[in-house]
């Protein structure tokens, strides 16, 4: 069953999504769904990699598996 989610985004994020939606003829909601699937791969097994920067990992230093 699908779930409805309401979020607040910045004006910059909204402007980007609006431009990209117009350019690609894809809805903003679909762009966000694709971004989630690409970044977090919820149905796959890949580890989340973008959080490394939030954790303060130094550039060029790999995390051990």
CA-based nearest residue to 28, from 39, 16, 37, 40: 16
* Neighbouring residues of 18: CB distance < 8 A, sequence distance ≥ 6: 28
What is the overall mean pLDDT for the chain? 78
Backbone φ and ψ of 40, nearest 5°: -110, -10
Q: Write down the pTM of the prediction.
A: 0.60
Task: Indicate the length of the chain as a whole number.
Answer: 65
Compute the radius of gyration of the chain from its Cα atoms. 15
| pLDDT tens profile 22-38 | 999 999 999 999 998 88
């Amino acid at each position: 069953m699908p779930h409805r989610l309401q979020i607040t985004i910045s004006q910059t994020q909204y402007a980007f999504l609006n431009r990209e939606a117009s350019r690609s003829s894809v809805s903003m909601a679909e762009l966000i769904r694709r971004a989630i699937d690409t970044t977090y791969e919820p149905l796959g097994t890949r580890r989340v990699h973008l959080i490394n920067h939030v954790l303060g990992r130094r550039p060029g230093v790999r995390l051990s598996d």
